[in-house]
Amino acid sequence: MSLVEINFDGIIGPSHNYAGLSLGNIASANNAGDTSFPRAAALQGLSKMRHNLALGLVQGFLLPLPRPNGAFLSAIGANGSEDRRLLAAAWSASAMWTANAATVSPAPDTADGRCHLTAANLVTMPHRSQEWPDTVKQLRLAFANPEHFAVHDAVPACFGDEGAANHMRMSASHGDPGIEIFVYGKSGGPFPARQHEQASRAVARLHGIDPARTLFVEQNPEAIAAGAFHNDVVAVANERVLFTHELAFADPEGTYGAIRDLLPEAEIVIVPAAAVSLADAIKSYLFNAQLLTLPSGEMGLVIPLEAWEHPKVRAWLDGMLASNGPIRRVMPVDVRQSMANGGGPACLRLRVVADPATIDQRFLLDEKKIARIEAVVTEHWPASIGADQIGDPALAMRIIAARQALLATLDFAEFG
């Protein structure tokens, strides 16, 4: 069996809009009420998938969830006329950010030798709290093979869990046993700390990972206050490399030391605040990057264009590339529509280390399938959604039909 890293990107749904729903997410707040461009958004996401596929990597996807979600409104006795924010929540396409779909512990890390996935309850934000029951249905289909996978329901709602965005795995190579690092926040700052320590500990227990190879690390409250609502806004890991802002963790030296104790080959690339301030890191989303091991064995960083175009970030990246560090390539991609809601390249993907042959093949992409999805998006996704159109019954019908067209093209009758 050959274990590889597979990135499952969320296909950006036809209801993508800017409603300013995420307190503590600066991009979401800044762009609240703007007109969104769902078709362009989905095509940008697909073009990132094509980019990574062309690098020789295995690429999968998760489907958009059914929206508008009438059941969400009914459950709170609403019909959408009471409060625009509740209406917008029912219309949210936020499942596109699959880094929040689940936490994943690959087979080499777990006691039963299976890859474990726990859906994230996302309870801190109402518009995200409705995702997991539909997400877990997809995970149970994609990872249905019980010899290789165990898919868990979300942990109870009293413990906020935001999934892989607050979880890092480091290992000599993807197929080797790894160490798992859970990053949680403590409440008390100006913005919610979405990841609770007890949720992280519950997920680690459910997955049966070795406590001696697991770290629970507090996120720096200053980072959350500056807008790092998930740890993946300020740090990303891949195999032996951790790429992090110096202010990501409450106890940076303790964290680096604990990582080095467990994984002596770890290489920690630290960006100092003097070179890139926390504010610039969050504005540019430098760390919300995909740190990928390329088929050549080199590591490359897929960053948002916003980071490439940021003078201070660019200067730091140029210096990094000129040095002899472990990250040898930087590849900017345009995901501006997602970025405007606080979702960079890393938010848009869920990493699963597995043998692709053990996964439901419908969730895996090749060039032809990408072209078919692009055709459906081009034909059916709305070109734009203005703030005043959220709730429009004709637009709702169009959004439902667009998703149905996608499901039909990809043979997912069970979600119709």
User: Is position 97 an interface residue for ligand SUG (rule: CB under 6 A)?
Assistant: yes
User: Is position 92 an interface residue for ligand SUG (rule: CB under 6 A)?
Assistant: yes
Selected from 8, 18, 72, 149, the binder of ligand SUG by CB under 6 A is 18
Q: Pick from 325, 333, 284, 323: which is nearest to 307 by CA?
A: 284
CA distance 269 to 276: 13
Q: What are phi and psi of 110, to 5 degrees?
A: -105, 155
Which stretch, 20-28, 203-211, 246-254, 406-414, contacts ligand SUG (CB under 6 A)? 20-28
β-pairing verdict for 4-10 and 58-62: parallel
Which stretch, 74-82, 95-103, 240-248, 379-387, contacts ligand SUG (CB under 6 A)? 95-103
Burial letters 331-346, b for 16+ CB under 10 A, else e? bbbbbebbbbbbbbbb
Which residues between 218 and 257 bind ligand SUG (CB under 6 A)? 229-230, 232-233
CB of 200 to ligand SUG, least distance (A): 15
For ligand SUG, the closer CB: 138 or 412? 138
Which residues between 343 and 362 bind ligand SUG (CB under 6 A)? 343, 347
CB of 198 to ligand SUG, least distance (A): 20
Active site residue 115: no
Is residue 387 within 8 A of residue 21, CB to CB? The reply is no
Which residues between 107 and 126 bind ligand SUG (CB under 6 A)? 125
Is residue 172 within 8 A of residue 162, CB to CB? The reply is no
User: Is position 128 an interface residue for ligand SUG (rule: CB under 6 A)?
Assistant: yes
CB of 209 to ligand SUG, least distance (A): 21
The mark string for 296-335 relative to ligand SUG (x by CB under 6 A, - otherwise) is ----------------------------------------
For ligand SUG, the closer CB: 88 or 359? 88
CA distance 131 to 119: 9
CA distance 160 to 99: 15
Q: Pick from 224, 352, 345: which is nearest to 286 by CA?
A: 345
The mark string for 182-201 relative to ligand SUG (x by CB under 6 A, - otherwise) is --------------------
Which stretch, 69-77, 199-207, 338-346, 382-390, contacts ligand SUG (CB under 6 A)? 338-346
Selected from 7, 28, 103, 293, the binder of ligand SUG by CB under 6 A is 28
Residue 382 DSSP SS3: coil
CB of 66 to ligand SUG, least distance (A): 17
Helix and strand totals (H; E) in the chain: 15, 15
User: Which amino acid makes up residue 223?
Assistant: A
One of 16, 230, 310, 380 is an active-site residue; which one? 230
CA distance 337 to 384: 11
Contacts of 410 (CB under 8 A, 6+ apart): 63, 362, 369, 372, 373
Hey, what's the torsion of the CAs at 366, 146, 196, 129, to 10 degrees? 60
One of 5, 131, 162, 180 is an active-site residue; which one? 162
Residue-level length of the chain: 416
CA distance 60 to 350: 9
Active site residue 51: no
CA distance 348 to 371: 19
User: Is position 399 an interface residue for ligand SUG (rule: CB under 6 A)?
Assistant: no
Active site residue 347: yes
For ligand SUG, the closer CB: 22 or 138? 22
Size of the site for ligand SUG (CB under 6 A): 23
* Separation of CA 169 from chain center: 14
- Please list the active-site residues: 162, 230, 347
**Residues at the interface with ligand SUG (CB under 6 A):** 18-22, 25, 28, 92, 94, 97, 99-100, 125, 128, 165, 229-230, 232-233, 341-343, 347
